Amino acid sequence: MSPATPKETAKQVIWEIESTHPDLVEPLDKAFREVIDPEIGLNIMELGLVRNVALTDEDEKAHLTMIMTTPFCPYAPALLEMTRSRAEGTLEKPASIEMGMELWDVEYMEEGVGGDWGLF
């Protein structure tokens, strides 16, 4: 399966929801693009911060995993809550979010975005 979103990156991530509820990927992608990292000025999808979205039919709840660009990001609590809230609003179901321990890599960024930073 070749998902349309999230856009491919060098280290592409495939959310669990893509195989269980593929119709929800595009609305989530759109909602998450409204969450901007205030220090960087890019949205969380461009940065590749949302590492997984899962939705279980059993408990009707979404669970997200997200990482930050730096381990001690001062905006982490706000970004996590904004992302959780966008998921909950889009899916119209309760959502929980956890901060993953995976270290962010510039290769998680969408293709072409790094040029804006002068990285590529």
In the chain, where are the structural domains located?
Answer: 17-107
Other beta carbons within 10 angstroms of residue 85's beta carbon come to 14
Question: Residue 72 CB: number of other CB atoms within 10 A?
Answer: 6
Question: How far, in Å, CA of 53 to CA of 46, rounded?
Answer: 16
Q: What is the pLDDT of residues 14-28, one digit of tens each?
A: 999 999 999 999 999
For domain 17-107, the question of CATH label 3.30.300.130 is answered with yes
pLDDT digits (tens, 9 = 90+) for 53-70: 999 877 789 999 999 999
Start-end of H helices in 1-120: 17-20, 25-32, 44-47, 76-91, 114-117
By mean pLDDT, which of 47-56, 83-92, 107-116 is the weakest? 107-116
